[in-house]
Structure 1
Amino acid sequence: MNEPISITAIASVSPLGHSAENVWKNYQSGRHCFTEKSFGNQSAPVAPLDASSEEILAQLRQSDAHYKLLDRSVLMAIAASRQAVKNAGWHDGNFGVNIGSSRGATALFEQHHLDFIQTGRTKTLASPTTTLGNIASWVAHDLKASGPDISHSITCSTALHALLNGVAWLRSGMASQFLVGGSEAPLTGFTVAQMQAMKIYAKQDDAFPCRAGDFNKKQNTMILGEGAAVCCVEKDTSRALALIAGIGYATEILEHPVSISAAADCFQKSMAMALADAGNPTVDAIVMHAPGTISGDMSELKAVQKIFGDKWPLVTTNKWKTGHTFGASGMLSVEMAILMLQHQVFVGTPFQPQQTAKKLDYIMVNSVGFGGNAVSVLLRKS
């Protein structure tokens, strides 16, 4: 069993808001964050940033001439990172940064590509402002971080892989503090069309258009959302919001480019590894990846049943409310888990009987990307 790593701060900008108070308030609400958005000659439900978070981005964009040229994914990451570092009390810049994204500067890349198609030329900064490393690089620049600066994409499990990296750096003794997370701004017509082409996007406009966590649904109901979430990890446990008790990861043999095996072998392995890493404690709840697709939700549930047997924990997800934020989704789930640990309140979905927990000491968070790149993180109450 490895020593626990401390999460001393977490911050986000998302459809739920940008402060812990607003995020928790919105988790207590039975409302979702979806709205219909037009993309050319068609429209689709999406979950955009809330108005207060949008205002923060607008102010950030106007604060520096360079920032006017950056993609939303970069600005969201900067906004969340500033708050997290402030909350953690990190002042000297002696920390590493690992913030990734599934798609990176989606909207900006699409605009530059459209300009090229129309004119045959690109703008001077088209390349540096659309590279995937742009997110972590600008965050490190903005915060004057002097540690290692890492970006990566492991599709929808990107943020939790960043957390794994941070834990590895700390456990190795190569760093004492790391800022980790993910950022995603996928609300473009092209991205929505891609999801629709895979026949996984929500079609019905009912009370709950995304039915993530509904294990009896008859059609796919995934909806895209946007947001960024980051946390500060370090070895000092005296100021911890929560402790990382165990980590697990697995990649299964690829059977299909966009789905995992029927019983989510990757999740079975990652959850088992996280449990063993923590000394096999009793898990009180699981924040599932559960993207709102029939196969995605059910395969993960089968994996939970395989690992925990008849006494499996309470299960929940936040995607019925926020949509799927791709590379940022895992860290937004960590935020949800930390808030539940702090308030000792289990937040369920509208599709299961209302459940309460006698106690919440350990909560597991799952995330997986295209191709079966699963991560499970076991959080412990501090």
Structure 2
Amino acid sequence: MKNPISISSIGTISPLGKTSEEIWKNYLSDDHFFHLRGAGRDASWMGNLPEAIQKDVAQLRNENSKYRHLDESVLYAILAGRDAVKDLSLSNNNAGINIGSSRGATRLFEKYHEEYLQTGRASTYSSPSTTLGNISSWVAQDLQINGPEFSHSVTCSTGMHSILNAIAWIQSGMANNFLAGGSEAPLTGFTLAQMKAMKIYATENIDFPCRSLDMDKSRNSMILSEGAGIVTLSANEDLGTLASIKGIGFANEKLKHGASLSKNGKCLQKSMKMAMGDITEKEIDVVVMHAPGTIGGDLSEVNAVKKVFLGKLPAITSNKWKTGHSFAASGILSLQMAILMLQKQQFLPVPFSEFKQQPDKIENILVNSVGFGGNAVSILIGRN
């Protein structure tokens, strides 16, 4: 990228909390943030939001009657949006919003469909409250931002695709600033059942149930979690800069089936090389991996990194062993992890992974995201 884009702020809510201090403290621990819900065959590992954030969600419903009929995916985005802009002065007419979701209003979809099956009638709120675009529109209403607002869904890489789209708007001159990210509330019966039907969900009751970047695992171990993440992007540093986006990459690959990814992660190879541009492999200090904890997904991405970095591998890490997979929001949480490592100048390894190599410095970090459909996004960030 000839003109780097500033990341002016980031607001997230996740199992790790919501303040940067709390999140960093939890990253430094060797604990995961999952809970086992249910019993027997119905037991499921989940990454729930902390009780304090759940209280914030309940308070949000009570503070405005219009929010009572909204799905949690919308409420999570509102909370993350408020946090992202709390210290900024945005120009209403020049700020856009693109907050996507992979699954959307999961709880309300299931609720309203069940009501329809029982009564043959649809609720008045069933359509407007489950429309995907309702995430960005309600965030815009809450923050009183009048710029362009829309949402999209590109499976698990949705949040990172939102950033790509925001950069295109900014570089075209159609917006000065953009809020971009993803929000997900997937801990519902049908959504969990879908993941289990694919045989990719964690089933073992062990110390670290999500084995992200454990290359010796014999079982899939993905775990779903709740979360939302929003970044504020700017073409200049007027709003301040946490980090700079130096490069962006995106790619897809030919599919064998809807959830497939090639053995050597061809789409990830392409996206990483595109994001790096003229920067050499030796200048990349860390790669924050998507690494969902599945056997095939983790292996494919590691193979892609090995193909791109033919000499010495950079330091490799991921956060899904600790936070779980929050679909659209997951890429933003990975980006936040990278920003924190840049700020603190401290690498965060996966405790049980073979990839424990410490970087000599932390100046350039690649962040990967990949989703169903063989689509990948890589974003290169660096220190100011």
Which residue number corresponds to residue 96 of structure 2? Answer: 96
Contact 1:159 1:328 in 2 (8 A): yes
Which deviates further from its counterpart, 347-356 or 177-186? Answer: 347-356
Which residue number corresponds to residue 247 of structure 1? Answer: 248
Which residue number corresponds to residue 320 of structure 1? Answer: 321
Which deviates further from its counterpart, 34-43 or 357-366? Answer: 34-43
Note closer, same or farther for the CA distance 1:119–1:84 as it changes in structure 2 (3 Å cut). same
Shift of 1:98: 0.4
Q: Distance in 2 between matches of 1:241 and 1:199?
A: 39
Residues 84-163 of structure 1 mapped to structure 2, 5 A cutoff: 84-90=84-90, 92=92, 94-163=94-163
Shift of 1:54: 1.2
Contact 1:70 1:129 in 2 (8 A): yes
Query: Could you report, residue by residue, the CA deviation over 1:140-195 in whole angstroms, capped at 9, with x for unpaired residues?
Result: 11111111101000000000000001111111111100000000000011111111
Note closer, same or farther for the CA distance 1:279–1:237 as it changes in structure 2 (3 Å cut). farther
Gaps of 5+ in 1: none
SS in 1 for 2:190: helix
Tell whether 2:370 aligns with 1:368: yes
Q: Distance in 2 between matches of 1:316 and 1:343?
A: 16
Counterpart residue identity of residue 332, structure 2: M
Tell whether 2:316 aligns with 1:344: no
Which deviates further from its counterpart, 277-286 or 208-217? Answer: 277-286
Contact 1:13 1:76 in 2 (8 A): yes
Q: Distance in 1 between matches of 2:57 and 2:39?
A: 22
Which residue number corresponds to residue 356 of structure 1? Answer: 358
Counterpart residue identity of residue 216, structure 1: D
Shift of 1:359: 1.4
Shift of 1:278: 5.7
Counterpart residue identity of residue 338, structure 1: I
Which residue number corresponds to residue 80 of structure 1? Answer: 80
Which residue number corresponds to residue 43 of structure 1? Answer: 43
Tell whether 2:213 aligns with 1:206: no
Q: Distance in 1 between matches of 2:89 and 2:341?
A: 23
Which residue number corresponds to residue 223 of structure 2? Answer: 223
Shift of 1:237: 2.6
Which deviates further from its counterpart, 15-24 or 252-261? Answer: 252-261
Which residue number corresponds to residue 381 of structure 1? Answer: 383
SS in 2 for 1:377: strand
Which residue number corresponds to residue 193 of structure 1? Answer: 193
SS in 1 for 2:2: coil
Tell whether 2:269 aligns with 1:268: yes
Q: Distance in 1 between matches of 2:155 and 2:209?
A: 23
Shift of 1:59: 1.2
SS in 1 for 2:145: coil
Aligned-CA RMSD value: 1.6
Note closer, same or farther for the CA distance 1:128–1:62 as it changes in structure 2 (3 Å cut). same
Shift of 1:277: 6.4
Q: Distance in 1 between matches of 2:271 and 2:92?
A: 35
Counterpart residue identity of residue 173, structure 2: G
Query: Could you report, residue by residue, the CA deviation over 1:272-310 in whole angstroms, capped at 9, with x for unpaired residues?
Result: 100116677711001100000000000000000000112
Query: Could you report, residue by residue, the CA deviation over 1:69-112 in whole angstroms, capped at 9, with x for unpaired residues?
Result: 10000000000001101133336463100000001000111001
Q: Distance in 2 between matches of 1:205 and 1:111?
A: 30
Tell whether 2:7 aligns with 1:25: no
Note closer, same or farther for the CA distance 1:56–1:277 as it changes in structure 2 (3 Å cut). farther
Contact 1:11 1:229 in 2 (8 A): yes
Counterpart residue identity of residue 99, structure 2: I
Give TM-score, length-normalised by structure 2.
0.96
Contact 1:366 1:376 in 2 (8 A): yes
Query: Could you report, residue by residue, the CA deviation over 1:104-147 in whole angstroms, capped at 9, with x for unpaired residues?
Result: 00011100111111111111111000011111111111111111
* Number of aligned residue pairs: 382
Shift of 1:259: 2.0
Shift of 1:357: 2.7
Contact 1:345 1:357 in 2 (8 A): no
Contact 1:246 1:277 in 2 (8 A): no
Q: Distance in 2 between matches of 1:7 and 1:267?
A: 23
Contact 1:341 1:360 in 2 (8 A): yes
Q: Distance in 1 between matches of 2:365 and 2:270?
A: 17
Residues 232-311 of structure 1 mapped to structure 2, 5 A cutoff: 232-237=232-237, 239-276=240-277, 282-311=283-312
Shift of 1:242: 0.2
Shift of 1:355: 4.0
Gaps of 5+ in 2: none
Q: Distance in 1 between matches of 2:86 and 2:40?
A: 40
Q: Distance in 1 between matches of 2:311 and 2:278?
A: 22
Q: Distance in 2 between matches of 1:356 and 1:312?
A: 11
Which residue number corresponds to residue 12 of structure 1? Answer: 12
Counterpart residue identity of residue 146, structure 2: S
Q: Distance in 2 between matches of 1:95 and 1:53?
A: 27
Contact 1:242 1:379 in 2 (8 A): yes
Counterpart residue identity of residue 331, structure 2: G
Counterpart residue identity of residue 265, structure 1: K
Query: Could you report, residue by residue, the CA deviation over 1:188-210 in whole angstroms, capped at 9, with x for unpaired residues?
Result: 11111111110000110100000
Note closer, same or farther for the CA distance 1:40–1:127 as it changes in structure 2 (3 Å cut). farther
Shift of 1:41: 8.1
SS in 2 for 1:30: coil
